[in-house]
C-alpha cells in the first residue's frame, strides 16, 4: 500500500502536468493554472480522510478549513453580503470543517470505505465547483476537474500497489478493487454517497447554467459597448450676446 509521500508525489506530478497543459494549450491565466495544480496535489490526500488520526487527515482537514472560506468570498460578495457577514460566514465554515468534519471522520468512517470510490471523486469535484465561484465558467471547470484528477490519482496508485510481482507472475492482494469502485459492501454508506452525488450534481448543474447565462449576457453587453460606444455629452457652454 503506497504511503503518504507516494500519494502526494503522484498527485503533485499530475497537478503540475495538468496546470502546464492548461497554460500552454488552453490559454488559462497563470494564477488559475497554479491554483488548479495545487488543488490537484492536495486532492491526492483526500481519499485517506477515512484512515483515522494521522498526517493525511490532519493536513487535509486543516487545508480545507483554510481554503474553502477563501474560495467562497467571491460568492458571498455576489450575494451582497457585507464585509462583517463575510468574515463571520468564513469563520463558521472554518470551524465546521476544522472540528465538525474532523470529528465525524475520526468517529464515523472506516478505511477503504466509500471515500475510496469513484462517486466520492465526483463529490469532491462538485463541492469544489460550488465553492469556487468565478466569472468565467471555464475556470470553474478547470479547478474542479483538477481536484477530481488528484483524487483519482490516489485511487489508481492504491490499485497499482495492490498488485505485487512475484517469481511466478503478478500476485493480487485482497485490497485489489477496493479503491476504484462504484459501491461498497455496506448499504447505508452507498445510499448516503449516491444521495450526496445526486444532490450536489443538481446544485452544480443549476449553478453552472446560471453562470453560463450571466457570462453570455456579459459578453453581449461588452459587444454592444464596442459596437455602440458611449460618448458622454459635453455640457453646453453658455454664450452671452452683447
- Tell me the per-residue pLDDT of 151-173, one tens digit each, with 9 for 90 and over: 999 999 988 888 776 666 566 66
In whole numbers, what is the pLDDT of the chain averaged over residues? 82
Write out the three cell numbers for 27: 490559454
Between 173 and 94, residue with greater pLDDT? 94
194-217 per-position pLDDT tens digit: 999 999 999 999 888 877 776 666
pLDDT at 234 over 80: no
pLDDT band at 66 (very low <50, low <70, confident <90, very high): confident
Nearest Cα to Cα of residue 18 among 8, 6, 32: 32
Nearest Cα to Cα of residue 126 among 60, 198, 71, 183: 198
52 SS3 class: coil
- Residue pair 211/140 in contact (Cβ under 8 Å)? The answer is yes
135-144 per-position pLDDT tens digit: 788 888 999 9
- Residue pair 122/193 in contact (Cβ under 8 Å)? The answer is no
Amino acid at each position: 500500500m503506497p504511503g503518504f509521500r507516494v500519494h502526494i508525489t503522484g498527485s503533485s506530478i499530475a497537478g503540475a502536468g495538468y496546470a502546464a497543459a492548461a497554460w500552454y494549450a488552453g490559454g488559462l491565466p497563470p494564477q488559475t493554472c497554479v491554483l488548479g495544480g495545487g488543488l490537484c496535489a492536495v486532492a491526492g490526500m483526500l481519499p485517506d480522510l477515512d484512515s483515522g488520526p494521522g498526517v493525511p487527515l490532519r493536513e487535509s482537514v486543516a487545508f480545507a478549513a483554510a481554503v474553502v472560506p477563501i474560495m467562497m468570498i467571491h460568492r458571498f460578495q455576489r450575494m451582497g453580503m457585507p464585509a462583517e457577514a463575510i468574515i463571520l460566514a468564513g469563520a463558521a465554515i472554518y470551524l465546521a470543517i476544522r472540528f465538525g468534519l474532523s470529528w465525524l471522520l475520526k468517529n464515523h468512517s472506516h478505511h477503504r470505505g466509500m471515500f475510496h470510490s469513484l462517486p466520492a471523486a465526483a463529490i469532491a469535484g462538485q463541492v469544489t465547483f460550488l465553492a469556487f465561484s468565478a466569472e468565467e465558467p471555464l475556470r470553474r471547470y478547470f479547478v474542479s476537474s483538477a481536484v477530481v484528477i488528484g483524487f483519482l490519482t490516489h485511487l489508481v496508485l492504491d490499485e497499482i500497489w495492490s498488485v505485487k510481482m512475484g517469481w511466478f507472475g503478478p500476485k493480487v492482494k485482497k485490497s485489489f478493487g477496493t479503491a476504484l469502485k462504484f459501491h461498497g459492501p455496506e448499504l447505508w454508506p452507498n445510499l448516503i454517497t449516491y444521495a450526496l452525488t445526486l444532490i450536489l450534481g443538481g446544485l452544480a448543474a443549476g449553478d453552472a447554467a446560471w453562470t453560463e447565462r450571466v457570462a453570455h449576457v456579459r459578453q453581449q453587453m461588452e459587444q454592444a459597448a464596442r459596437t455602440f460606444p458611449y460618448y458622454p455629452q459635453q455640457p453646453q457652454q453658455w454664450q452671452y450676446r452683447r
